[in-house]
Structure 1
Amino acid sequence: MYNTVKTLKIIAQNGKFFRGKIKEDKNGENFVIQLRDIVKNERGDYLDLKNLLRTNISTKGHIEYLKAGDVLITVKGAKKYAFHLEKVPSKTVVSQHFLILRSPDPKIILPEFIEYAVNSSRCQNWFARKCPGSYQSTLSRETLERLPLPVLPPEEQQKIVNLIRETRAEKKLLLDLIDNREQQLKALANKLINTDY
């Protein structure tokens, strides 16, 4: 059974719009998540929150800061990457290059399950059909609200989330072992092979 983001009452929001380059202030009170904070490598795709740009946002209106449990989705490109925020610094916003999904009740609709569903091939194929443009197709908030999502009981969502966590942990372990072997090989080769040529 499927419902849409909107009918599931999952809140969809736009990122914070910045006109031009964001002015950095190393002592600023606000943090900004940008596309440059996405890391893509053999260990997977993830957000690196260790070196976020700091700034001061001056606005008369209300600022909606990110919360732990929010799911960020890239709006441009062939793939719309989803990232679950396990934790986030206080007074952090995300740039307009992302959309935000927020579960109405994280115990009923698990944020990590939302991340999984959005990244699934089924949802990615749906984006490919519904988003205008080709390589640089753009995802709007209105389109995201129409995204069909599977409806599962929380315990079944949790089973999927647990398996995702186990898979990531196994992948990390295997890649760490490979890295260690490569370091051992390098050290042995340097010891045994005469490099004076």
Structure 2
Amino acid sequence: MPKKAKAHASRQITLSELVTIQAGYPFRGSIQENPDGDVKAVQPRDISDLGELSADKLITTNLTGKRKADWLQQGDILFISKGIRHFACYVPEDMPETTLAPSLFLLRVKPEYQGQLNPEFLTWQINQAPVQRYFDNSAEGSRQLNIRKPILAAAPIAVPDIETQNTIARLYAASLRENALLHRLIHNRQQQLNAIANDLISHS
């Protein structure tokens, strides 16, 4: 009989014990695009269902509130708190003069957990079924579901040893790259088929 996979020992802890949680920048009203603006803003639409950040599609705008903006740093985690999707997104590099919409939360690993917690692993876990079920059971609202800060803070997180975290993080990153490649292949094939169909019509 095949051997069972070895279970990795881990301890369970709430999310707020691991990270600080800050609401996005309080823009007044909807975020207005301004090509001459001096900042960029991440919105939920910039985060895929797999937790990828489309940094090349961010709009340029101006800050409209009085609060100082938080610029995104490598290792930050963004969380969509409103709508039908409650996904987390890993920030792979520093993003100067880039902040986030108020419908997002900014999660940042606490200093005492630096080196003990891989934020990419944490992003992966937030997006997995156990934590997603917790959000589904805790969300408020009928159409636009909302995950309030206390609900997010109390999310249960399992923390294995750092080696296990790093291994899972590498697998997660590889899966995102593979998915992106697959989507490009599908898109290219569809364009090819569309060209053939148009050519058939034009020569009929």
Corresponding residue to 2:166 among 158, 168, 174: 158
Q: Deviations over 1:145-173 (max 9, x none)?
A: 11110111111101111111233333344
User: Counterpart of 1:71?
Assistant: 77
Q: Give the share of equivalent positions with the same residue, in percent.
A: 30
Task: In structure 1, list runs of 5 or more residues that go unmatched.
Answer: none
Counterpart residue identity of residue 18, structure 1: F
Q: Distance in 1 between matches of 2:30 and 2:108?
A: 27
Corresponding residue to 2:37 among 28, 32, 37: 28
Q: How many residues align?
A: 192
Backbone CA RMSD of aligned residues: 2.7
Q: Does 1:2 align with 2:12?
A: yes
**Structure 1 length-normalised TM:** 0.81
TM-aligned CA distance change 1:69 to 1:189, over 3 Å: same
TM-aligned CA distance change 1:106 to 1:27, over 3 Å: farther
Q: Deviations over 1:87-141 (max 9, x none)?
A: 2431211011111111124421111111111101100100111222244221111
User: Counterpart of 2:55?
Assistant: 49
CA-CA distance at 1:25 after TM superposition: 3.1
**Structure 2 length-normalised TM:** 0.79
Task: In structure 2, list runs of 5 or more residues that go unmatched.
Answer: 1-10
TM-aligned CA distance change 1:159 to 1:54, over 3 Å: same
CA-CA distance at 1:174 after TM superposition: 4.4
Tell me, yes or no, if the aligned pair for 1:79 and 1:124 is still in contact at 8 Å.
Answer: no
